[in-house]
Amino acid sequence: YDNFDLNDYLAVSDEKQAELDQITDTDEYNTALAAAQYEQWRNKAISDTYEPGSVFKIITLATALEANVVSESSTFYCGGSITVLGRDADDPINCWKTTGHGTQTLAEAAQIYCNVALVEIGLLIGAKTSWDYYHRFGLFDETGIDLGGEADSQWWDEDTFCDPDNESSLAAASFGQTFNVTPLQMITAVSAAANGGYLLKPYVVSSVTDASGNVVLSNERTVVRQVISEETSKRVCAILESVVSADGGTGKNAYVAGYRIAGKTGTTTKTATEAATGKKEYMVSFCGIAPADDPQYAILVILDNPSQDSGIYVSGGNMVAPVVGGMFSEILPYMGVEPEYTEDEKATADVIMPSLVDTGLSDAESQLGDLGLDVRVVGDGDTVTAQLPAANAEIVPGTTVILYTGGAPPGDQVSVPDLSDMTVAEAREALQSVGLFLNSSGATGSSAVVSKQYTDAGEQVAYGSVIKVTFSDSSIQGQY
């Protein structure tokens, strides 16, 4: 955070220090200061636990495929709810779609976040096998990461979970509810499901050297165990990719043109908070994996109690998937992963501006036309003397590029407009009207609208600047 100085790690934020300065008793002050420091240093990814929700369906899916109790051709019926042994018939487990999803395949059950289908899958696996795989995925143990303060997960005891007369715990666990894990345990388990089946010991520091250059500590890839086969892992990734790529997938807002992204959304209520206060709060999340056909990177983002008054439906698909997609859109090119566009993606993907300065005007216009860009010429010359946007800028197709054939662009500052909820065409036109250009990431299509702009509305920027935004598909509102 911008209020934390790594070079002065004992200092607390100015706001907290102002509170501490009101304390006159020395002992009370020191106690309060220590508590403030601990809270500031606390790493929620390893020291806090949470209910993972539907991200955990990745583990249920991997277990079911490995145990050979389901296949891609399996079908499941959702009538809106399901009653399991040990749970009163008047208190069934409900799906978010109370009217039910009907008959669905394994991939469709993952895509549309169907809890009923996942309960059916969990029952097919069985409590004992599920429990064994939770252990194999490392969900009962600390990961051993090279950081302090790692917490442990919170589960039922094995006898309760495996009680043959009560399947309610198994049913709830199958879709990620009524137990707690750390975010680090969750992403480590997901990585095992995606990377070929290998549970790895996570680490932060690659190596430490002394003043003489001698390596005094070194961490290397450490396999704890193989949890599932490489073939099962590939099948898991293929299904998770469909959560992002399929029209009905709840993770489609993590889509990045040219890249194969896999993942799973998650939305859970804080049951303890609701029981204690009567107030409903949420944890929403998305776990993304890329590239789906050769997994190298995994990201887990969790929003703790996001605003319910933002106008965005509270769910992992609407709130978090666009964040992860935006991160992948920067990480993958930076790490040298080359995009591979389909024909449809080529038509909608952002294009890279060529360098046109000192190029003949007709040649420059021809190049831009081939890229799907329009042209506005300023000047009467035959040779391009300047261009907006600059060479190598990434902009949406259909943009009107400005070519100068004499003189230079104005050096004015302009105000960035508010692009909230605009379509691609609307955002492009709104920016062009003030001399700015659009760079996009995220969902495409007629129902895609701006969910985030990276330069705030009203901010002053140079004329000709490129404004990056993320688009989300508004059609998945109401889905988790």
Active-site amino acid positions: 54
Separation between Cα atoms, residue 459 and residue 91, nearest integer Å: 52
Separation between Cα atoms, residue 115 and residue 7, nearest integer Å: 47
Separation between Cα atoms, residue 329 and residue 254, nearest integer Å: 9
For 91, 128, 140, 168, the CA distances from 164, given in Å and listed in that order, are 19, 10, 21, 10
* Exposure string for 414-453, b = 16+ CB within 10 A, e = fewer: bebbebeebbbeebbebbbeebbbbbbbbbbeeebbbbbb
Phi then psi for 40, rounded to 5 degrees? -70, -35
For 17, 104, 398, 475, the CA distances from 312, given in Å and listed in that order, are 35, 28, 28, 12
| Token duo for residue 47 | 């020291």
SS3 string of 264-283? Answer: EEEEEECHHHHHHHCCCCEE
Separation between Cα atoms, residue 185 and residue 136, nearest integer Å: 12
Separation between Cα atoms, residue 351 and residue 450, nearest integer Å: 19
State the distance between the two ends of the chain, measured CA to CA, in whole angstroms.
29
How many CB atoms lie under 10 A from the CB of residue 207?
Answer: 10
Alpha helices per DSSP H over 283-348: 316-319, 321-334, 343-348
- Its sign, for the CA torsion 141, 143, 148, 150, is negative
